[in-house]
Amino acid sequence: MSFTIARTVEDALAAIAAGARPIAGGTDLVVGARHGKAALPADLVAIDRIAGLDDITAGSAGLTLGANASHHAIEHHPVVAGSYSALADGSALVGSPATRHVGTIGGNVMNASPAMDTGAGLVVLGAEVELRSLHGTRRVPISELWSGPGRTIAQPEELCVAVHLPQPAANSGSAYLRLEYRRAMEIAVVGAAANVTLAADGTVAAVQVALSAVGPTIVSVMGLDTLVGSSVADAAEAAAAAASAQATPISDVRASDRYRRHTVGVMARRAVETAARRAAGETIAIPVNRTLGIGAAS
Amino acid sequence: MTVTTPAPNPARFIRADGPDKVTGSGRYTADLTLTGMLAAKFKYAGIAHGRITRLDTTAAKAIPGVFAVLTQADVPNVRFGPFVQDRTLFADGVVRFEAEIVAAVAAVDAATAQRAVDAIVVEYELLPVVNDPETALAADAPLVHTDWASYGASGALVRERNDASFSSIAKGDVERGMAEAAVVVRSRYDADGCHAAPIEPRAIVAQWEGDKVTIWTSTQVPYDARAGVCETLELPANRVRIIVPHLGGGFGGKCGFHFEAHIAALAKAARRPVRLLFSRREEFLAPDKRRESICYDFETGVSSDGRIVARRVTLVLDNGAYTADAGFFSQLGAMHALGPYRIPNLLAEAHLAYTNHQPSGSVRAPTAPQTCWALESHTDEVARAIGMDPVAFRQLNAVDTGLEGPTGQIYGEIGVQECIERAARMAGYGQQLPDDEAIGVAIGWWPSFAVPSGAYVKIDGDGSAQIITGAQECGTGSVMTLPQLAADELGMSAADFQLVYQDTSVAPYDMGATGSQTLFNNGRAVIAAAAQIAQQLRALAADHLEADPADIVLADGQAFVAGTPGRAVPIATLAGIAAGGELLIGHGSGMPPGPPPISGSTCVGDAGMAAWVAPQFSCHAVRVKLDRDTGVARIMHVAAAHDSGTIINPLGAEGQVQGGVLMGIGQALTEGTGYDNEAHQRTAGLLDYKLQTCADAPPIDIHFVQINTPNAGPRGAKGLAEAPNVATAAAIANAIAQLVGAPVRQLPMTAERVWDTLQEVAQNTIGGAA
Ligand SMILES: Cc1cc2nc3c(=O)[nH]c(=O)nc-3n(C[C@H](O)[C@H](O)[C@H](O)COP(=O)(O)OP(=O)(O)OC[C@H]3O[C@@H](n4cnc5c(N)ncnc54)[C@H](O)[C@@H]3O)c2cc1C
């Protein structure tokens, strides 16, 4: 049993190579252990004090989030809120103020819960995660990262050091929203993110949609290329139908599969509509759930 | 005619225990550590119904660090229960719900205790699981208690097989009433059970000194807890001392006697102090306090001018595996199903069905919120069926001053009509709303409980005073109002009084933080105790000022001669004089007001709930916004008007209404306890059992209709802790029903259930059009 406090990424990589599990905010790892989900790993390496690992850097190439960037920092970063709104919408919904200050993007992504609130946004924004080990670094498209509930393709000795997002296209906008039964300390019943690029005539030039809590991992909705050239309203309807059709939800105490399949379509439709409004230059405050009153109306 | 009078002294004071609790300097039971203290853990059944065929604690006892392992064989063979003696401390050979305690362990630490629990070998012969209260009542249903007939029970209870308490209320001729009605409306409603969910999971510490035991415990009812320990461990009351440090909430869930005897028995066997700390999951599963699920079949007949002429209603309540304090719930539920309405012909029948579920018990206004929800949903259906506005329908049919309630109680001054009018006005009832919003209205009622209670008051030589009371504070702030009452009686200020409370060996009896009764009864006791000292002070002052004691007035910390305020002496001076002679000590109890008479009704299984002392009334009007695509309802505004008599501390009273309303919103929308096919609770944790959060709280407007209430508590106060929890869910339901086009017939009205109902309405509409 050991607990190492890493000061540098190299410290952390060495500890991980020796078998330790990284712990960032601990809001999944520790809380899960207390709930009996999985025992706390015997060896832990705390990565939360690594200098610079929580940096958020915006540049011409896009946006880089250090793995330790907190949900609070993401939610309130002007560039994230303005140009990567779907991500900010997601981070702003996580738990409570306390959870958002402690919980990190790296933890959210690597925890690989299909109900995670940043995942769908990251998928539609085309994010890549940067995984590093003592042997080197690789970048993985985020939609290829998750291999099942709580599982990623990362090797045990790999640390997620950053999440990279490309510069969004001109005239594009994004949004994430979720169905929730209450307005704090909630888990997505279902969720949907959309990234919409508008043509000069106001029709859809590109649209991506991804879904949370309706499958073993975040679901990328396929076959939306055909919507290029259609009106936003038609695209939203089609995306809703595709989302409901492609979702593979389960029934549990929170909702039945039938209800999830229906409501994920509603979320997808609203995500496309909201993303399109943002693409058209409208400011819709973060998070969409509160501003537009989705699910629990404002 | 109702008269609204301002409270005589509406002091908005901040409760004395507030700063301790907010700053963290307050101490709760879990904060206690005693020298040599051991940790307790329980071995639970884990299955809902089975006969123990093998119970072997040998391996557990052999684990180093284990000091005691107890089963039913190690404690007196006592069957207990306030209404039906159907319970033993540990399983008596049969386990009847998943968290039945089979054995208890005390060990050096929690991990060792848990290892020992895991090492206890129990084998079961599985018995058929009784998972549904309605089918439990069938003649051929498996029995939860095969020996039910031989159990001791309160004489008032009518019991038969799995029906632990049948109760009926009849008046007039219901058949004829229905036959004469212009319209008869029938409705079925089903309410899931739910939980008190206090923030503090319970904790108990027990320590023996010789043949006396002190138990620190998070209970709402210290004297009940003491009585339970005395009964099950066969001890006289004066050898058991119950102390409650700060209590981290209760909401009824910590009423009754729970695990104090288990821990006392462990401490005795281990010869060490022992502490039990519940996990959140245990807090959900183990206490015999879950709000009962109830299903309802209503039938109401109305005349063409909108008067209720007859009602027939059947209730089946889930008792769970043991009767706990639910014995009177069938009659109380029947009263709530009849409601505060004038009904000439009626028949209410209620059954309390044993099942293999966690036992039901008092959670804030037991039976009331769910029954009000069902009744008031039904009432809106009735109003709609005869084309009447729901508010007008209630105004026409609700009880009022001088009129007769369902059991034939004639009411003195009551404010139900004013509550309806006020709540509707505060909500803006009748205003034009967007098509996804509606206002629902519901009325509720709740008894005041008149019971014995005691307190001492003393003033020491320096003029500072103490109230030593049996009353228990569970978060309502009710105990905190007692200094105000004593101060007013003695012409002192509330700040002159310190409270000594929550210790059964120090203060006289009080029923505890239950039944909204603290101010009602202990207030009476404190005033009586203070009055004795007032008399002493008047005599001392009369001596000192050479006046007639009858002319002495106590005010502003002084005693003075009426009419000549210049002839005065500070009370502190008199206290100094008394310290050298007859000490200033008062004791008080006072006679509780008796039950009001009733006439014209017949009650079977009468648990004393057919007539209510100082009944409280309320009307809630709630504006709801519905997302029709998802079924998610959001509460936009709540208007709550309450007749709870005189309000002594408006700040505390408003807090009770805000909390009651928020709890009601949770019950309406998100809080429900379902069971799987093996009778395991499906949501025994705060992740899936969804309480409302501050972020969900809507604006709440409150009005108190204050009336000169006859036969009430101090200064005409009634109770207030439970009443605000009664009508909220019902009002929400009536708003949702308008938005959906039909009532949602299950509680909680989860988003999915609302959405399902929307689908049914859509299908019926299409079907109807075709
Ligand atoms: C009360 C509460 C409410 C919550 N609400 C939400 C919510 O609404 N939406 C939501 O999406 N989540 C929610 N969560 C989950 C959690 O807060 C988030 O997933 C958070 O982002 C996790 O980050 P963390 O830093 O705390 O992760 P940790 O618990 O530290 O780690 C989580 C997992 O990721 C691994 N890990 C962490 N960092 C790295 C890294 N850099 N490289 C490799 N592996 C790593 C850990 O080993 C562990 O397996 C909630 C949690 C709580 C306790």
The residue with greater pLDDT, A132 or B476, is: A132
**Does ligand 1 have an atom closer than 6 angstroms to the CB of A13?**
no
Chain A residue with minimum CA distance to B669:
A181
B52: how many CB neighbours lie within 10 A of its CB? 18
Q: Considering chain B, what is the average pLDDT of its residues?
A: 95
In the reported structure, the alpha carbon of residue A103 is separated from the centroid of ligand 1 by a whole-number distance in angstroms of 6
Q: In CATH, what number does B294-449+597-767 get?
A: 3.30.365.10
Contacts of A293 in chain B (CB under 8 A): 625, 627, 634
Rounded Cα–Cα distance for residues A288 and A290 (Å)? 5
DSSP string computed for A8-55: SHHHHHHHHHTTPEEESS-TTHHHHHHTTSSPPPSEEEE-TT-TTTT-
Q: Is residue B5's pLDDT more than 80? A: no
Does the C-beta of A189 come closer than 6 Å to ligand 1?
no
Q: Residue B280's pLDDT is what?
A: 95
Q: Is the pLDDT of residue B13 over 80?
A: no
3-state secondary structure of A176: strand
Among B321, B325, B317, CA closest to B101: B321
Angle at A61 between CA A60 and CA A65, to 5 degrees: 105
Q: Nearest chain A residue to B691 by CA: give it.
A: A182
Strands, DSSP E only, in B144-265? 158-160, 163-171, 183-191, 203-209, 212-217, 240-243
**Protein fold of B455-588:** Aldehyde Oxidoreductase; domain 4 (3.30.365)
| Cα B162 from Cα B306, distance rounded (Å) | 39
- Which residues of chain B make contact with A255, given a CB cutoff of 8 A? 752
Domain residue extents for chain B: 18-127+199-249+255-285, 294-449+597-767, 455-588
Q: Output the CA A260–ligand 1 centroid distance in Å.
A: 24
User: Rounded to 5 degrees, what are φ and ψ at A181?
Assistant: -95, -15
What value does the mean pLDDT take over residues B330-344?
Answer: 98
* Residue for token pair 């012969």: B125
pLDDT tens-digit readout, B151-204 = 999 999 999 999 999 999 999 999 999 999 999 999 999 999 999 999 999 999
For position B12, what pLDDT does the model report? 73
Both tokens of B764, joined, read 């019926």
CA distance B512 to B242: 12
pLDDT at A295: 58
Cα A100 to averaged position of ligand 1 atoms, centre (Å): 10
* Residue B695 touches partner A, C-beta closer than 8 Å: yes
Residue A295 gets the label, from left (phi > 0), alpha (psi -120 to 50) or beta, of: left
Torsion sign across C-alpha atoms B383, B385, B386, B388: positive
B430: its two tokens:
């009748």
Buried b / exposed e over B431-467, threshold 16 CB at 10 Å, is eebeeebbbbbbbbbbbbbbbbbbbbbbbeeebebbb
Q: Is B230 helix (H, G, I), strand (E, B) or coil?
A: helix
Q: Does residue B669 contact residue B749 with C-beta atoms inside 8 Å?
A: yes
pLDDT digits (tens, 9 = 90+) for B402-422: 999 999 999 999 999 999 999
Instruction: Say whether pLDDT at B654 is over 90.
Output: yes
For residue B171, the SS3 value is strand
Q: Does the pLDDT at position B3 exceed 60? A: no
ipTM: 0.96
What is the whole-number distance in angstroms between the Cα of residue A25 and the centre of ligand 1? 7
Can you read off the two tokens belonging to residue B128? 């058929």
Structure tokens at B683: 């949501």
pLDDT above 70 coverage of chain B, percent? 98
pLDDT category at B234 given cuts 50, 70, 90 is: very high
- Please report the pLDDT score of residue B10 as a whole number: 57
Write the DSSP symbol of residue B491. T
- B435 in contact with A at a CB cutoff of 8 Å? no
Q: Is 80 exceeded by the pLDDT of residue B398?
A: yes
Q: Does A254 touch chain B (CB under 8 A)?
A: yes
Half-sphere exposure of A272 (CA within 13 A, CB side): 31
**Could you tell me the fold of the domain covering A172-292?**
Enolase-like; domain 1 (3.30.390)
- CA–CA min distance B696, chain A (Å): 6
Residues in A touching B630 (Cβ below 8 Å):
179, 263, 266, 295
Q: Measuring CA to CA, which residue among B709, B368, B658, B719 is closest to residue B520?
A: B719
* pLDDT of B471 over the 60 cut: yes
Q: Is A110 in the pocket of ligand 1 (CB under 6 A)?
A: yes
d(C-alpha B321, C-alpha B180), whole Å: 42
What is the predicted pLDDT for the residue at B8? 47
Q: Is pLDDT of B770 > 50?
A: no
Are the folds of B294-449+597-767 and B455-588 the same?
yes
The pair phi, psi for residue A6, each rounded to 5°, is: -85, 135
Using DSSP's 3-state secondary structure scheme, residue B445 falls into strand
pLDDT at B755: 98
A179 in reach of chain B (CB within 8 A)? yes
The answer on pLDDT for B148 being more than 70 is yes
Residue in the structure block whose two tokens are 């007769």: B404
CA dihedral B497, B502, B504, B509 (to 10 degrees): 70
Q: Does A183 touch chain B (CB under 8 A)?
A: yes
> What is the fold, at CATH topology level, of the domain defined by B18-127+199-249+255-285?
Aldehyde Oxidoreductase; domain 3 (3.90.1170)
pLDDT averaged over consecutive 10-residue blocks of chain A (298 residues)?
A: 96 97 96 85 97 96 97 98 98 97 98 98 98 97 97 97 98 97 94 98 98 98 97 98 98 96 98 98 96 64
Give this prediction's pTM. 0.96
Phi, psi (deg, nearest 5) at residue B290: -125, 140
Query: Mean pLDDT across the stretch B121-126?
Result: 98
Phi, psi of B34 (to 5 degrees): -115, 150
Q: Which two tokens stand for residue B576?
A: 């100094």
